[in-house]
Chains A and B, each alone.
Chain A
């Protein structure tokens, strides 16, 4: 297994918890958040430097230059984790897991095109990276889905196998797993964007043979030993759609849950690919609601050719504000920097702003046509935030924990939580103070 590139090593040192589990042990020196890292990447570019320059001879000089706008002691301590990094890289390689950075050739082009600045700086992968180049159908749904619909998901998987289409999903139990296994069992391929620990997931017997055969890729934007967290699951949906030529929602709750949040985000905002829904009430009230928001009914292609045709037809549907790969590459050639930093520089105004307040929502402007347009921006943001926060509050969390999770200030989090309590959507617990969501009646 190849050693990570120098740029990737530097990004690992700055942003990865490496082998430290959870927030507790690592909290002594918190790694850079995505926003903090973006800010640093922009600053590096301004200095005509790459992340790799932080781990070679220019390190000390570069840090001195950066000290004007960054807490250099913190950077220094993160960068001093060289031995931890080597332990982690070795441990992952031993587990057949490798790390790729945005500047590495293996990094999925679609992530860069569609996610732009919010493309994860690092991907942890296990399996066959070639699968990223194949046509891709995302299949998503909730964990608790009726058996009959699971069989349909399985059938879609098998059809994809016959059509040479890769199934992308979350590898979670329920629809995800069923659709992926449906494809793998029929000799096809799948990509699992994992929210759970990649290390645990890749050792599961149901994935093992396909991984050995090169028919499966498991990937995660989080360090392999990281445990499941709701907010990750939400970020993960974005990655699943970002890989896909088309998506199928097999089941969904309405107004809550990862499936709903991920699909609405696509329909209203990101529009990476056409979203289809099964027209089956057993799939939950979310399906019809998603159809109302513009999801297309699943045409239930009966043959491999029909499925291929469906994916081909969707290729014409442009997503919003896509930078073509050629453009990206051209920029790199012209500026002599990695796509890494070129990406970061594509929105300079955001990059220079305070990331703690202004974590940019990728591709948000311009707003799509439709009823959403009537909503004032502030209200739209509030609605989005409410859902996001509620999604995190399946279990009681303190303000500190939430702030860390969402990477925003505690003042902000406290205001949001109070708003949810006022709306009777969350409950405040005392000693210690924590917030937990209230289940909607019925």
Chain B
């Protein structure tokens, strides 16, 4: 390697590369691209490029990388949150003659080869997610010796607290680039409000070169519609989609809704497919490609189909519910019509969205109590630390919450906890008060952002684009009228009725168990088949435990507030109205618990009052049992209950509603129903707030 200072930036070569990469022999640089490339090629430069999606940020870093390599400098490292981006852009990089590789969960089999290429210096640009970047394998393993001469951070707004997407790993990325001797830094984003810019300037250094483009998307026709009820919104979609040009994306807030909307549209003969983070990456890749090739009308997606998804001819982006912030909305809707003369961006607003958004806001961070208990457990744990399984056994926290708390705390600097191998240890640093200040600040911010989106919903047709640009501190003066007419706001009644009945069918049924476990229940003296007059009736669950929405409220009540939210009473009321159990229950009772003696009874009493029925606590727990969920199989779950329940005294004889918070193995309902029937009660209808299952 020559130590002589070589001239890295070469105008003619850059243009050659642009033409090779784009496959267009007459291609010219867009406004600002060439200047950005030149800035990046300066030694130890720090450049921030704010340009809307589709402007061609990738050409800036690919061409800069190639020029650096041709001048004998080290490779580039591209930190980007999404696989979609990586797959799409690898091809363009290769056309320029760059050796571009990635390591992610889908190409485990290639890691070793990539490591060897890193070590031999063959790689020109390595693409990696922030999560992978923070993994010990990258920090200490062979990939750590990449020694890039250029680091590119895509979606750099995530570094800022004010960026919409809270990704814990980006916090570390922001700190990483504060010290970066002898390395150039390029940060790119499509959206940066003044506040985000100020943050980035602070994090990335005072000598930051900033290039900021125009936010206006003239091809987009924006519209907002308030359609509170789910069936009406489903009907609107079914009516509207067939008339829209091309293919597009429908965004939903939860996995459950994405699946539900896709199912509904399919029953209406529309080829819409669900795309969620719960799917494996192979399926997701196939879905992305199907949309790119216009092989389906729409993907119904959660934010898992996110940043960097690159389809220039996307005809529409419709939101089934209002997302949490203007930044998030602009990013998502901005995918439509990038290379089309016109496209629709329609925002539907539903009654459930605020509860869901609120849940996302409240659950973004662990609570003080959870953090205290976690730190306490580690403080008094063994010297070598605790595994996650040990912590789960010790702390009554859902696994997801525990993992989230561990991750967020360990990404603080200095960190109060850290991981050594598979064990978590308490470290010699207190959790800084600034942590909680930040949590509060972000929570307030998120609330304000959600409100701003509600203001957007209320805009009149034609006002939307200017509102978004102003909210993002851009210049709205160039915004003209929408190019397309507004879509009809009416919802046909027959379709709405059909959607309503579709939704009812989706409710979760709790099937009664008909047989005692093998070996029977010796204490209760039960074995074999359960006589039909001792069976529970088919019951209902309000939600799946793994869903957002209702189930999150259930978790909140059970693990945090100690009482179930009023909204759950309303949800159950609506469920019962649609369900119409027959014969109609005449009284309400519930499953007792020694662990939470008032949680479910209080809720059941509330529900009974709302239904205008008496609440009778007919059952009691006469023996402590281990937690049902700790039992590893059905027989153990049933045995665990044997002899634990009893009838408190005389009970009404009519049909009853049997309420519990969660249903998993159904044994508790089975034993309780048997007892109630044995003591003279009529048909017993189980009602649970959430069905657990294998998901958590």
Residues of A within 8 A of B (CB): 1, 3-4, 6, 9-10, 13, 19-21, 25, 28, 55-57, 59-61, 63-64, 67, 72-73, 76-77, 79-87, 89-91, 93-96, 126-127, 200, 202-205, 207-208, 211-212, 225
Contact = CB atoms under 8 A, between A and B. Distances in A.
Contacts of A87: 139, 144, 176
27 contacts: A4-B179, A9-B181, A13-B181, A19-B144, A20-B145, A56-B44, A59-B182, A73-B1, A76-B3, A80-B74, A82-B183, A83-B148, A83-B151, A84-B147, A87-B144, A90-B176, A94-B413, A94-B414, A94-B415, A95-B418, A96-B428, A204-B383, A205-B383, A207-B428, A208-B426, A208-B428, A212-B429
Contacts of B181: 6, 9-10, 13, 55, 79, 82, 85
Contacts of B172: 90, 94
A80 B147 contact: yes
Contacts of A126: 428
B584 interface: no
A76 B428 CA distance: 36
Contacts of A57: 43-44
In order of increasing CB-CB distance, the 6 nearest A-B pairs are A211-B428, A55-B181, A82-B183, A60-B5, A96-B414, A82-B182
Given A82-B181, A83-B147, A96-B427, A67 B175 contact: no
A345 to B, nearest CB: 24
B393 interface: no
A86 B180 contact: yes
Contacts of B411: 94
B380 to A, nearest CB: 9
A119 to B, nearest CB: 23
B250 interface: no
A382 to B, nearest CB: 40
A203 B418 contact: yes
Q: Which of A79, A87, A126 has the most CB of B within 10 A?
A: A87
A82 B428 contact: no
A65 to B, nearest CB: 10
Given A20-B144, A96-B414, A85 B427 contact: no
Contacts of A1: 413-414
A95 B177 contact: no
A94 B149 CA distance: 24
Q: Which of B43, B182, B183, B427 has the most CB of A within 10 A?
A: B182
B144 A84 contact: yes
Contacts of B139: 19, 87, 91
Given A25-B145, A64-B3, A79-B182, 9 more contacts: A9-B179, A56-B44, A59-B182, A73-B1, A83-B148, A83-B151, A90-B413, A93-B414, A94-B412
Interface string B411-449: 111110010100001111110000000000000000000
Interface in B1-17: 1, 3-5
B3 A212 contact: no
B413 A93 contact: yes
A79 B180 CA distance: 11
Contact of B147 (A59, A81, A205): A81
Given A9-B181, A86-B177, A28 B418 contact: no
A76 B2 CA distance: 9
Nearest to A84: B144
Contact of B428 (A9, A84, A86, A212): A212
Nearest to B381: A205
B140 interface: yes
Given A60-B4, A212-B428, A80 B415 contact: no
A61 B176 CA distance: 28
Contacts of A63: 3
A204 B412 CA distance: 19
A311 B4 CA distance: 56
Interface string B324-335: 000000000000
B147 A82 contact: yes
Interface of B: 1, 3-5, 43-44, 74, 77, 119, 139-140, 142, 144-149, 151, 172, 175-183, 383, 410-415, 418, 420, 425-430
A126 B119 CA distance: 33
Contacts of A73: 1, 3
A23 to B, nearest CB: 14
A253 B685 CA distance: 81
B659 to A, nearest CB: 46
Contacts of B74: 80
A31 to B, nearest CB: 13
A384 B512 CA distance: 84
A202 B3 contact: no
Contacts of A86: 176-180, 183
A25 B182 contact: no
Given A3-B178, A207-B428, A80 B413 contact: no
Given A72-B3, A93-B414, A96-B414, A3 B179 contact: yes
Q: Which of A19, A20, A56, A84 has the most CB of B within 10 A?
A: A84
A19 B140 contact: yes
A127 B147 CA distance: 31
Contacts of B428: 96, 126-127, 202-203, 207-208, 211-212
Contacts of A76: 1, 3
A85 to B, nearest CB: 6
A436 B544 CA distance: 65
Nearest to B426: A208
A93 to B, nearest CB: 5
Contacts of A93: 175, 413-414
Contacts of B182: 13, 55, 59, 79-80, 82
A95 B414 contact: yes
A384 to B, nearest CB: 36
B431 to A, nearest CB: 11
Contacts of A64: 3-4
Contact of B425 (A20, A56, A81, A203): A203
Contact of A203 (B145, B149, B420): B420
A149 to B, nearest CB: 25
A244 B142 CA distance: 41
A63 B3 CA distance: 7
B145 A28 contact: yes
A95 B140 contact: no
A20 B146 CA distance: 13
Contacts of B176: 83, 86-87, 90
B175 A90 contact: yes
A60 B179 CA distance: 20
A61 B6 CA distance: 11
B3 A67 contact: yes
A211 B426 CA distance: 12
Contacts of A203: 418, 420, 425-428
A4 B178 CA distance: 10
Contact of A83 (B119, B146, B414): B146
A76 B44 CA distance: 15
Contact of A84 (B1, B145, B178, B415): B145
Contacts of B145: 20, 25, 28, 84
B413 A202 contact: no
Contact of A80 (B5, B77, B144, B149): B149
A138 B134 CA distance: 40
Nearest to A200: B420
Contacts of A207: 428
Nearest to B181: A55
Nearest to A60: B5
A20 B179 contact: no
A322 B176 CA distance: 40
Nearest to B418: A95
Contacts of B140: 19-21, 225
A17 to B, nearest CB: 11
A10 B179 CA distance: 11
